[in-house]
Structure 1
């Protein structure tokens, strides 16, 4: 008799990582301010098996200019949240979402000045 191992691929919606309402509130607040400033136009949310991604677009048909990633498996090693630029460079990483989002807040201040 053989022991069956768990399937290594996505098996259902319960396996997905997603943003909680308390995490989406500051993200959407920042997004709204950047839309009002004319910097951003669209967003997309992905709930994947190992991470959740909030992608920010300048125009709908483009690649995302920023990605806000939540990776629960990295919370002890490389931190839970990360802001990633268009070129794949990590702009800020940390366990406090509001502190990580400050890197994008600075861009809002520059665009308004």
Structure 2
């Protein structure tokens, strides 16, 4: 089993796809890493030998910020925006869309499930 950056890569996937299971590595970076190490993108993870896994691990850990470090960096960037009180920071704090999307109709993912509001009761005489 190949373990890179603290992530167990799925054994039956191609190397190109398996690398994308690491947070911070998408399809483009996976191709870059495989080109640097000289590993074929079509090789299955289970078919990689120890030297290939070691080469992949070394490139990923030395050249890229992935997993915990990247998550921490993103969290600190968002916290900085909230601390200095930017519009983006206030939107993060309020749990609303940050990048200018409308909220009157959509934004269910950020705002949460719909909450029903009870109708106004009529006063009894």
Tell whether the structures are fold-level matches, with TM greater than 0.5: no
TM range (shorter): under 0.3
**TM-score, normalised with respect to structure 1:** 0.26
Higher helix share: 2
User: Is the strand fraction higher in 1 or 2?
Assistant: 1
State the TM-score, normalizing by the size of structure 2: 0.24
Larger radius of gyration: 2
